[in-house]
Structure 1
Amino acid sequence: MERAVWRILADVPDPEIPVLSVVELGIIRHVRIAEGRVTVGVSPTYTGCPATEVIARSIEARLQAEGYENSKVEPVLSPPWTSDWLTESARIKLEEYGIAPPAHAVSNPKHLFREPKVACPRCSSMQTAKVSEFASTPCKALYRCSSCLEPFEYFKCI
């Protein structure tokens, strides 16, 4: 039964980056089934993320549509989510979608104190520059490629 729930969750898209599922994003911390109730633990990508409530409602609606009427989403704040939890398929999908994936692992903090070298997701050039610390969402920065001249978003190392 738990595997079935994980398969369902793998089809729930992130509302801000719809090519990624909540599983690929790495925010699903656990699935617990007890006494007929499904509980899904979800970590927000960062404190105050506006998508958190939308994600919880999407998960509950999808589970109910699949027959899990007695389901609940609970927040999991510790440990905090990190971009290291993105799956390899998520990193590939981000790039295909036009968003540069995180350049470094957060588990190596020395990278967090210097500007990352970010490859353009369109032409793979390393001749890129940050235009703004924030893009369409606070977890992304806005960059521009000097080679193809296209702007693009970079998913920050969080």
Structure 2
Amino acid sequence: MDARTLAAEVTDPEMPMLTLADLGVLRDVTVEGDRVRVVVTPTYSGCPALAAMRDDLVRVLTAAGYAEVDVAVSLAPAWSSDWITARGRAALRAHGLSAPGPAPRRTGPVPLALGPVRRALGCPRCGSGDTVLASEFGPTACTALYRCRACGEPFQHVKEI
């Protein structure tokens, strides 16, 4: 298998139903002889999963015979939830997570809003739109916790970034 295919199959350590390619964080893979360079863009600049992503990429690629693996981080352009592939969005839903809608489009500074975040979401379990935000902070920084009023089930929503 070539380096890009191998790197693309590495899973996200926080959401293992997604590959790095499906999450949209895998930006580039270049090979020169037995050396490979992988460029990733984290979902946000302080993402704690980045070290695990790097370690997994190095492990998989060295096991495939690459003598030197360099994993670089690119913060520009910033990752967007729009980069999650259709396959990735389907995997999120299949695992009971609400996939993000379109990321907000902004020009200039990001406005500071102190009110609650408003999202129109459908429950990934029953499809009802009668959902309520339980916490803007889920088990990972890029998720929020919701509860469906129709079926009563809690679920995570991957935030639009």
TM-score by length of 2: 0.90
Q: 1:24 aligns with which of 19, 22, 27?
A: 22
Unaligned 5+ runs, structure 1: none
Q: Percent identity?
A: 39
Q: 2:93 aligns with which of 91, 95, 109?
A: 95
After TM superposition, where is structure 1 displaced by more than 2 Å over at least 4 residues in a row?
A: none
Identify the range of structure 1 (135-144 vs 28-37) with the bigger mean alpha-carbon deviation. Answer: 28-37
**Aligned residue number for residue 74 of structure 2:** 76
**Aligned residue number for residue 52 of structure 1:** 50
**3-state SS of 1:63 partner:** helix
TM-score by length of 1: 0.91
1:107 CA drift (Å): 5.5
Contact 2:104–2:160 under 8 Å retained in 1 = no
The aligned runs of 1:116-131 (5 Å cut-off) are: 116-131=119-134
Q: State the Cα deviation string for residues 34-69 of structure 1 (Å, max 9, x = none).
A: 353210001111121110000011001000111112
Find out whether 1:148 has 2:146 as its counterpart. no
**Aligned residue number for residue 132 of structure 1:** 135
Q: State the Cα deviation string for residues 59-111 of structure 1 (Å, max 9, x = none).
A: 010001111121110011111111010000000000001110002x22545xx
Counterpart residue type for residue 139 of structure 1: C
- Counting helix residues as a fraction of each chain, which structure ranks higher? 1
Number of positions where the alignment pairs a residue of Structure 1 with one of Structure 2:
154
**Aligned residue number for residue 106 of structure 1:** 103
Unaligned 5+ runs, structure 2: none
1:122 CA drift (Å): 0.4
